[in-house]
Amino acid sequence: MTQRSDPNDLTKCPLCGQPNECAVAAGRDPESCWCMTATMSPSALESVPAEAQGKVCICARCAAGTPAGD
Ligand SMILES: [Zn+2]
């Protein structure tokens, strides 16, 4: 039951549970976030649980379409 990260934890990637390094979640300027310049993989975005969509950032590795754990 703890395989997935808490969808309410804004600091963790909902796909892999690793820190998403989101600037907003860290209390920093949103424009300083890595996601502002990153290209998101559509398949990664589709994998985000519905309850986390629009709330929790995914991490850079998942955004690039590279599954964690390898
Ligand atoms: Zn991730």
- C-alpha of residue 28 to centroid of ligand 1, in Å: 20
Question: Structure pTM?
Answer: 0.77
17 CA → ligand 1 middle, Å: 6
Rounded to the nearest angstrom, the distance between the alpha carbon of 49 and the centre of ligand 1 is 12
Q: Output the CA 44–ligand 1 centroid distance in Å.
A: 9
Largest separation between any pair of C-alpha atoms in the chain: 34
63 three-class SS = helix
Q: What is the pLDDT of residue 1?
A: 52
Taking the centre of ligand 1 as the mean of its atom positions, its distance from the CA of residue 26, in whole angstroms, is 16
Give the percent of the chain with pLDDT over 70.
86
- pLDDT tens for residues 15-40? 999 999 999 888 999 899 998 999 99
Residue 18's CB is within 10 A of a number of other CB atoms, namely: 17
Number of helices (H), then strands (E), in the chain:
2, 0
Tell me whether residue 23 is exposed, middle or buried, using C-beta atoms within 10 angstroms of its C-beta: 0 to 12, 13 to 18, 19 or more. Answer: middle
